[in-house]
Structure 1
Amino acid sequence: MSDDFFAGKFPRGWFGVLFSEELKVGQVKSLRYFDKELVAFRGENGAVAILDAFCPHLGAHLGDGKCEGNSIVCPFHAWKFSQSGQCVDVPYAKRIPLKAQQGALRTYHVREINQIVHLWFDVEGGGPTWEVPVDDSMNDDLNWSKWYFKRWRVRTQGKEIIENLVDTPHFTYVHGSPIEEITVDFNGHVASQTSVIGGHATLGDKLVTRATYFGPGVQHVTMNGTYASAQVNIHTPIDTEHVDVCYGIKIQRDPTLADTDDIAREYARFAHEAFDQDVVIWQRKIYRPAPLLCDGDGPLFQLRHWYRQFFSETDAAQSIAK
């Protein structure tokens, strides 16, 4: 038996699965997270629903269907399902089966905030026990640029990604930007780092950052460098071996500059290149449940203890598909 407590498990919490701009009104999008096929659609009411993807009738994938009003229509026999997973129409039947009326498709809790669609996942089926906070700078504030984001499909797990929060030395040896000051705090489902970084050739001579995890998969970052920026690091398990990692950034507008969006696009390119440096490491490294550490390493075991709260003591990969 593995001595890695996190192996083969998915954490419980909020996970960013789409930026709002990726799902227009009337659009349907297939998703694959937590070893499950899911479907997202945005009704004419503007609300986003996420359901299990396979029709309970004969198993067609609803991602191949279409959105009508506030419902999704199966591509196979045109069964229609509401945003709450209930069958509301079978066009060739005199009555809808009772089980279908009551809700034949599993639905997921969704929060669309900060221009990001968040999904709550709990292998045991529990509902949300905390919320991701609304950040005015991350919303549709005209004083800030749009989101510029990039996705990676990485052969790793979230347990590797979160360790950057406390891994002070890697900022020097991976990114060439040494941390001069750092404070790390753990408080319930929140873990945060406040730091002063010794500079980056493009992002700024001295970077003052605050990086905060709200649960296991959503990190908000504020950075004051060449420009004030708001950033998100959202990583969501695809299966027990791969993670969808997305890094987004927007910058505060300078009213004296006419080309803020061009600057934001270029600023984001450099930020994504820096994140690429981490991705290269994650793709090929292994996880050490009992690493050999030295006195210059950060509070790694404290972080792992914090992260452990989001996992069931007993669930395994096999139970997730049930």
Structure 2
Amino acid sequence: MTASNSSGGLKAEGRYARGWHCLGLAAGYRDGKPHSLNVFGTRLVAFAGEDQQVHILDAWCPHMGADLGLGEIRGNSVVCRFHGWSWGADGSCNDIPCAKRIPPKAKTKAWLTCEQNQLLFVWHDPEGAPPPADVSIPRINACFSDEWTGWTIRSMVIHNNCRELVDNLADVAHFGPVHGSPASYFCNTFVGHIGYQMFRGSESELLGSALIADSAYFGPAYHITRMVAEVDGKPVHSILLNCHVPIDQGSFELRYGVMVKKIPGLSDEENDAIAKAYVEQAHKSFFQDVEIWHNKIRIDNPILADSDGPIYQLRDWYRQFYTDVKGLPDDLHQEKVFERHDGTWRALSEVPEAARSQLHTI
């Protein structure tokens, strides 16, 4: 879907997106050690204390600048290795060895976190506001069900701006050349902070046939896909995690995860074998995208053909995460729908029944 002007282009900003950003499995931070995080152009420290809650602070100690990630955890505080200053979960200094009093200004930034679907999230807002009530991470019931495997997650650093990843939500044209899985039906819906993609394909080089994928970005950096494919005559249900957190303006950490629904009637060993094989194929499919992201530049005003997806419309939606709240458009919460059927694109006034999200069923 082409655009008549360049308004869909997104210039490189010196800021990072407003929204929840996934930092991987929450359990990985409950190992009794502080974890340094290079994100949002700075360094943070994540740690779980005696309360088993994961807390995140600015990592550079306000005293003399050492990395709190090199320190140790005592109680619900992280203690700096350099001089032993102790910092609580709220960012306040609560102990200084041999000092008679703690300076009133001895505070550092505490970051808002949440846990959902076995994952840890951190909230980022360049304006410093908390998340609105309607901006949350939806629960995936499968993450708490014995009928599904747990997450298998891999992470990597991509040396590019993270927008190059988000473009895939609308880039229908890449499925054939990159994945060997051309779309027979495709629909994008943008409403509020959520961008949906409905995909139908008859085959995939790696993931089987009769491919059905319902996916969405919940905010700028957390993407979930509900997928069904036929493999060796059996339907395989999977949930795919695709999330990123920016390191700086030219790189981001990417995490890709897979869960697989166990097939009734098969033994645990048989289900484990199927899940392991499918997870490996899913990762191979995803790495086809990774190779592209590692070897491309950003084009702010791409020249599009009528076979391309609503790239400019996607970027109009995505721009909200880099815009001050007071500058958000009035129609942000109105559904904007773009459907491709029989090779033809059309803008719709409402979401067709075939493209209604089924993500709530997982």
Letter of the 1:111 counterpart: C
2:47 corresponds in structure 1 to: 41
1:25 Cα offset (Å): 4.5
1:8 Cα offset (Å): 3.6
Structure 1 CA distance for aligned equivalents of residues 273 and 109 of structure 2: 42
**Contact 1:66 1:75 survives alignment (8 Å):** yes
Letter of the 1:30 counterpart: S
**Contact 1:28 1:65 survives alignment (8 Å):** yes
Structure 1 CA distance for aligned equivalents of residues 215 and 279 of structure 2: 17
Structure 2 CA distance for aligned equivalents of residues 62 and 148 of structure 1: 29
Q: Counterpart of 1:174 in 2: which secondary structure?
A: helix
Structure 1 CA distance for aligned equivalents of residues 64 and 49 of structure 2: 24
How many residue pairs match? The answer is 308
Instruction: Check if 1:131 corresponds to 2:140.
Output: no
Structure 2 CA distance for aligned equivalents of residues 195 and 27 of structure 1: 42
Instruction: Check if 1:113 corresponds to 2:142.
Output: no
RMSD: 1.7
How big is each residue's C-alpha offset from its partner over 1:45-89, in whole Å with a ceiling of 9 and x where there is no partner? 121111110111111111011111211111112211111111111
1:7 Cα offset (Å): 4.0
Residue 93 (structure 2) aligned to one of 59, 82, 87: 87
**Contact 1:174 1:277 survives alignment (8 Å):** yes
1:202 Cα offset (Å): 4.5
Mean CA deviation greater in 123-132 or 277-286? 123-132
Structure 2 CA distance for aligned equivalents of residues 76 and 51 of structure 1: 17
Letter of the 2:109 counterpart: R
Q: Counterpart of 1:238 in 2: which secondary structure?
A: strand
Structure 2 CA distance for aligned equivalents of residues 281 and 164 of structure 1: 11
Q: Counterpart of 2:322 in 1: which secondary structure?
A: coil
Q: List structure 1 runs of 4+ shifted beyond 4 angstroms.
A: none
The 3 A distance-change label for structure 1 pair 174 and 201 is: closer
1:18 Cα offset (Å): 2.4
TM-score by length of 1: 0.91
Runs (5+) with no aligned partner, structure 2: 1-8, 231-235, 325-362
1:132 Cα offset (Å): 1.3
1:13 Cα offset (Å): 0.7
Letter of the 1:57 counterpart: H
**How do residues 130-279 of structure 1 correspond to structure 2 at under 5 angstroms?**
130-137=135-142, 139-226=143-230, 227-257=236-266, 258-259=268-269, 260-279=271-290
Structure 2 CA distance for aligned equivalents of residues 247 and 303 of structure 1: 22
Structure 2 CA distance for aligned equivalents of residues 8 and 264 of structure 1: 41
Q: Counterpart of 1:291 in 2: which secondary structure?
A: coil
Runs (5+) with no aligned partner, structure 1: 314-322
Structure 2 CA distance for aligned equivalents of residues 228 and 236 of structure 1: 27
Structure 2 CA distance for aligned equivalents of residues 245 and 57 of structure 1: 32
More strand by share: 2
Q: Percent identity?
A: 38
1:320 corresponds in structure 2 to: none
Instruction: Check if 1:294 corresponds to 2:305.
Output: yes
The 3 A distance-change label for structure 1 pair 99 and 140 is: same
1:21 Cα offset (Å): 3.0
Mean CA deviation greater in 121-130 or 293-302? 121-130
2:62 corresponds in structure 1 to: 56
**Contact 1:41 1:48 survives alignment (8 Å):** yes
Q: Counterpart of 2:204 in 1: which secondary structure?
A: coil
Structure 1 CA distance for aligned equivalents of residues 10 and 167 of structure 2: 15
Q: Counterpart of 1:56 in 2: which secondary structure?
A: coil
1:316 corresponds in structure 2 to: none
Q: Counterpart of 1:99 in 2: which secondary structure?
A: coil
Letter of the 1:203 counterpart: L
Structure 2 CA distance for aligned equivalents of residues 222 and 96 of structure 1: 51
2:6 corresponds in structure 1 to: none
Structure 2 CA distance for aligned equivalents of residues 203 and 243 of structure 1: 26
Q: Counterpart of 1:91 in 2: which secondary structure?
A: coil
Q: Counterpart of 1:272 in 2: which secondary structure?
A: helix
Mean CA deviation greater in 73-82 or 233-242? 73-82
1:147 Cα offset (Å): 0.7
The 3 A distance-change label for structure 1 pair 274 and 181 is: same
Letter of the 1:135 counterpart: I
Structure 2 CA distance for aligned equivalents of residues 274 and 236 of structure 1: 21
